[in-house]
Chain A
Amino acid sequence: MTFKMRHSLALSALVCVGLSLATAADAKTFKWANSGDVSSMDPYARNETFLLTFTSNIYDPLVRRDKDLKLEPALAVKWGQTDPTTWFFDLRQGVKFSDGTPFTAADVVFSLNRANGPGSNLGGNFVSVKEIKKINDHRVEVITKYPDPLLADKWAAIAMMSKAWAEKNNAVNSADMTKNEENFATRNAMGTGAFMLKERRAGERTVLVPNPGWWDKAQHNLTEVIFTPVANPATRVAAIKAGDIDMMYEVPPADTESLKREANVQVIEGPETRVVFLGFDQERPELLESNVKGKNPFKDKKVREAIHRSIDVDAIKRTVMRGQSFPTNLMVAPGINGYTKDLDKRPALLKPEEAKKMLADAGYPNGFEVGMDCPNDRYVNDEKICQAVVAMLARIGIKVNLLAQTRSKYFAKILRKGDYKPGDTSFYMLGWSPAATYDVHNVFEQLIQTPSAQTKKGLFNAGGYSNPAVDKLADAMEQETDKAKRDAMIKDATKLYVDDFAYIPLHQQAVVWAARKNIELVQLADNSFPLRFVQVK
């Protein structure tokens, strides 16, 4: 680049900053885009991060998460357990909904029952709950069936709605999919939150304006927020370069470098709480998709170890992920309660001949052939990672036949059925984030405990890994309220599954956002984007 060009670029950058300063004085409109729309304005309609965090701009929860994902007071100022099976929440006084009506305990009881009611998708957060009681206008108590140390964590995602508003607008329950009926709350929203919904055009744009009566001191300086779904990644990148949007929520990995070179754009990246991993069918006596008959090679720990230690996650990071991944050996990420740092060490890589010898010792001197399932539109570069794994395993004599397909087909194939019967996979990729509780127990319960329709555990343990000692520890940690004891249990259980080579954790993918240089925002590790921290300079 010549000096002249550099100069004119710098000049145009200056002009742009000048322009944005000039407009910033009167109105601070913040325009942002994501690949898809929020599916509903109803905060209980879907159990997905994007919907929950988007609606949390309009609705407040009882307790919310701060910049480090730690709990902090929101509509409840104090909470805790009076005895192992009783939780209390003391509500903030003087809070008003944006329509002017006061927020009271009746709204809390109503909201929690609605979130646990028909049409809601958040019912999973109420498994331990026996009864929700209003004590007075500013105190709610919850009786649980068994000690539940994680109740407040689970409920940090649950928005508080207005009882009067819902009753007036016939939205007492979330939309019922089986009825052909419009539900008012699907398109409208009214809460106590930092923003109010001004305009909602599904699939086109959603406009929020600040709530002047918000109980908290605003950390943002916005006067209007316009959200637009832009499905095509190239268009989103063009839009932010052109300045048509101020921020894009998820950046395609291929475009990260070109955006970093852009003078007016900043790229913000950090590790996500989701761990992407590989799993084996360790349940069936014979693999569905393999040339090994009469036995299942993945039941042999030696085979799992040989595979685990032949997959070079750093190479995947370098080549496939272009540096945007954080290799790990655990099933939970830092930032999740129960992440055990000193166990997060990957065992040394094996040379191909060492791995071949290990396979030979296990009875497979010539390797074997196995099918692998992988999504191609769910995780960042999912299919390419699987292709890299195929190549790495080919070197040790394991021929992997990869089937990469779209997520709805892929999940239908690999996941357990309603009766906990295993899905049709031998070797697969999956990603998991304990987003409901931000606690490791969720990972044990869903991915590591023995799958069973009786205990209702292990629904996503697609390969059926089973270790009774881990099961016992996981059950114990679910109800243990003593933190030191619980941490010890977590550590023991973690060591067990790591030593078993139960799974092959690969990495946390990076959360990558891009924003214009004049935007200040906070990126959370759970990939949620609260507008309350956004500043337009």
Chain B
Amino acid sequence: MFVFILKRLLQSVAVLLAVGFVAFSLFRYVGDPINAMVGQDTSAEERETLREKLGLNDPAPIQFLTFIANAAQGKFGLSYRTSEPVGRMILERVPATLELSFCAAIFALFVGVPMGVYTGLYPRHWTSQLFQAVSLIGVSLPTFLIGIVLILIFAVWLKLLPSFGRGETVDLGWWTTNFLTWSGLKALILPSITLGLFQLTLLMRLVRSEMLEVMRTDYIKFARARGLTNRAINFGHALKNTLVPVITVAGLQLGALIAFAIVTETVFAWPGVGQLFIQSVQFADIPVMAAYLLLIGLLFVVINLTVDLLYFAVDPRLRSQGGAARVAGH
């Protein structure tokens, strides 16, 4: 177990270095940040001095090494756009993104899984057919469109919910939260639905097909023969056996929720890291983009590790077979 974790950590470092390197090789194609930083009247010399000072004239590998060396010490430099320390800019926006992703994930899990179980148990019932049809919307419509339509209905027409932003937040010193004010909670609803809809559909369809599969197996028939209640069969035996793929997908999708909250955050002017990233791309703000990509790389590595560890918890076969080696090969 310990060796397994250690191995995973070493792999993580390699993955992060690779992410950083790929990112840096791309940055030479994002354009020249200098023009966005200075006004149109800035002289050529001032531009050149600034370029030199920021190390933009160094070859990409040198810039990369400097960046990694600084990042290892927790120094990400100043943003080209705002002159603020990058580390703090990102940390300040993390709570907004995490709270949004958390709510979206809760929404997807607690609506998607029961819907999946239901449609799996009663595949021919008309409500199941309805769920199936509606869930197509979640997969087929682009996120920004869903967001705009929700805003149009609930903010512009019905005037029930705010059209953008986080509402009032409570500052706990190291964390700002939406959960403690009424306007903050209201502000969470539309973006969470927008962000979680795709995952909801995915989970629902996954659980449904797994359930259909499991319900056909012999041990379910035996359980019925033993006279167990439907509830015990459906949730104790059937659902539990569908969970390994569901956890894998849900885990990876949680990463996706955080990493790809970008679109939802842009639509709802949600002040999270995704929006920060978009603004930085427009500005060619290399320090912020680099730090963000590393952060997302780190996030996926951590989630993968957690998912692997969760397998141990839900699948007893892995524990008895000393499955560490097997899982590592996943």
**Which residues of A does B touch, CB under 8 Å?**
33, 36-37, 39-40, 42, 45-48, 119, 121-124, 174-175, 177-183, 186-187, 201-205, 228-232, 234-236, 238-239, 241-244, 377, 406-412, 415-420, 432, 435-436, 442, 446, 453, 456, 459-460
Contact = CB atoms under 8 A, between A and B. Distances in A.
Given A180-B75, A187-B84, A229-B269, A121 B44 contact: no
Contact of A123 (B46, B76, B77, B162): B46
Nearest to B47: A418
B53 A177 contact: yes
Given A180-B85, A181-B85, 6 more contacts: A119-B83, A175-B78, A177-B54, A204-B96, A235-B163, A238-B164
A235 B83 contact: no
B249 interface: no
B39 A238 contact: no
25 contacts: A40-B83, A119-B83, A123-B46, A124-B41, A180-B75, A181-B85, A203-B271, A228-B269, A230-B269, A231-B275, A234-B148, A234-B267, A235-B148, A235-B151, A235-B163, A235-B164, A238-B155, A244-B164, A406-B31, A406-B282, A408-B36, A408-B284, A409-B30, A435-B41, A453-B44
Contacts of A177: 37, 50, 53-54, 78, 80, 83
Contact of A419 (B44, B89, B162, B166): B44
Contacts of A377: 282
A453 B45 CA distance: 9
B148 A238 contact: yes
A186 B84 contact: yes
Given A121-B39, A235-B148, A418-B48, A408 B33 contact: yes
Given A235-B164, A238-B148, A45 B83 contact: yes
A238 B151 contact: yes
B228 to A, nearest CB: 52
A46 B37 contact: yes
A505 to B, nearest CB: 17
A229 to B, nearest CB: 7
Interface residues of B, number: 64
A204 B164 contact: no
B93 interface: yes
B44 A418 contact: yes
B266 A232 contact: yes
Contact of A442 (B41, B45, B267, B276): B41
Contacts of A432: 40
Contacts of B84: 40, 175, 182, 186-187, 202
B51 A418 contact: yes
Contacts of B159: 242-243
B156 interface: yes
Contact of A412 (B35, B43, B166, B271): B35
A238 B156 contact: yes
Contacts of A39: 81-83
B23 interface: no
Nearest to B265: A231
A203 B279 contact: yes
A312 B328 CA distance: 67
B83 A183 contact: yes
B106 interface: no
A441 to B, nearest CB: 12
B209 to A, nearest CB: 36
A459 B40 CA distance: 10
Contacts of B22: none
A45 B84 CA distance: 11
A36 B82 CA distance: 12
A204 B54 contact: no
Nearest to B51: A418
Contact of B156 (A228, A241, A416): A241
Among all A-B residue pairs, the 10 with the closest Cβ atoms: A47-B39, A408-B31, A418-B48, A412-B32, A175-B83, A204-B271, A409-B31, A230-B269, A411-B35, A239-B163
Given A238-B148, A446-B40, A244 B166 contact: no
B278 interface: yes
Given A178-B54, A203-B276, A242-B163, A418 B267 contact: no
Given A203-B279, A408-B33, A411-B31, A231 B269 contact: yes
Contacts of A174: 83
B283 interface: yes
Contacts of A242: 151, 155-156, 159, 163
A215 B33 CA distance: 40
A244 B155 contact: yes
Q: Which of A442, A453, A459 has the most CB of B within 10 A?
A: A459
Contacts of A48: 39
A537 B114 CA distance: 51
Contacts of A122: 39
B219 to A, nearest CB: 51
Contacts of A419: 44
Contacts of B35: 407-408, 411-412, 415
Contacts of B41: 47, 124, 435-436, 442, 446
B268 interface: yes
A121 B83 contact: no
Interface string B263-294: 00011110100011011001110000000000
Contacts of B77: 180
B152 interface: yes
Given A231-B278, A235-B148, A241-B156, A203 B93 contact: yes
B27 to A, nearest CB: 11
Contact of B82 (A202, A409, A412, A436): A202
Q: Which of A186, A232, A409, A435 has the most CB of B within 10 A?
A: A232
A241 B164 CA distance: 12
A121 B37 CA distance: 9
B10 to A, nearest CB: 29
Contacts of B278: 231
B184 interface: no
Given A180-B78, A203-B276, A124 B54 contact: no
A174 B38 CA distance: 14
Contacts of A420: 44
B165 interface: yes
Given A186-B83, A235-B148, A408-B283, A456 B43 contact: yes
A220 B152 CA distance: 32
A464 B52 CA distance: 26
Nearest to B55: A178
